[in-house]
Amino acid sequence: MIKIYIAGPLCTEGNRKFLEKINKICEELGFDTFLPHRDAGLFKELKDISDISKRDVEELHKCAVLIGVLDGICVGAGTAWEMGYFQALGKKVIGLKTDRKVSESISDISAVIAGQVEIVESLEELREKLGRLK
């Protein structure tokens, strides 16, 4: 079974709920998922960083696909790092930018990400893309 890593901002409940929507789509399509806040926990204290980051990196190696949320003024540092690391492993990265068109957002997402990552612009487009991976 293909396992998907879902990367994106975790700072607010709204951020986490959006990642859970993505997770639901993946599970409806029959994929196994790694959802960082669900499976590795949330940062509460400095002592949490080592365990959380170790688990995240382990899962990057176990997953075959990564979905990175690119919404907002700029890509989150953690999301950008996860996407770059995953890409360096030679694995498939799908970017998801739903708040503005990619063509209007290059300065928000970086030319490198836009040039190297296939980006979809809606949850429906993501569902279609994932459906073709089966």
Instruction: Check: CB of residue 84 under 8 Å from CB of residue 113.
Output: no
| Chosen CATH of 3-133 out of 3.30.70.380, 3.40.50.450, 3.40.1280.10, 3.40.1550.10 | 3.40.50.450
| Rounded CA separation 43/127 (Å) | 30
- CA angle, residues 38, 117, 1, in degrees to nearest 5: 50
pLDDT tens sequence across 53-100:
999 999 999 999 999 999 998 899 999 999 999 999 999 999 999 999
Instruction: Tell whether the model's pLDDT for residue 45 goes beyond 80.
Output: no
Query: Where do the domains of the chain lie?
Result: 3-133
The whole-angstrom separation of Cα 37 and Cα 56 is: 10
97-76-113 Cα angle (round to 5): 55
pLDDT tens per residue across span 89-131? 999 999 999 999 998 888 889 889 999 999 999 999 999 999 9
- Look up the pTM and report it: 0.94
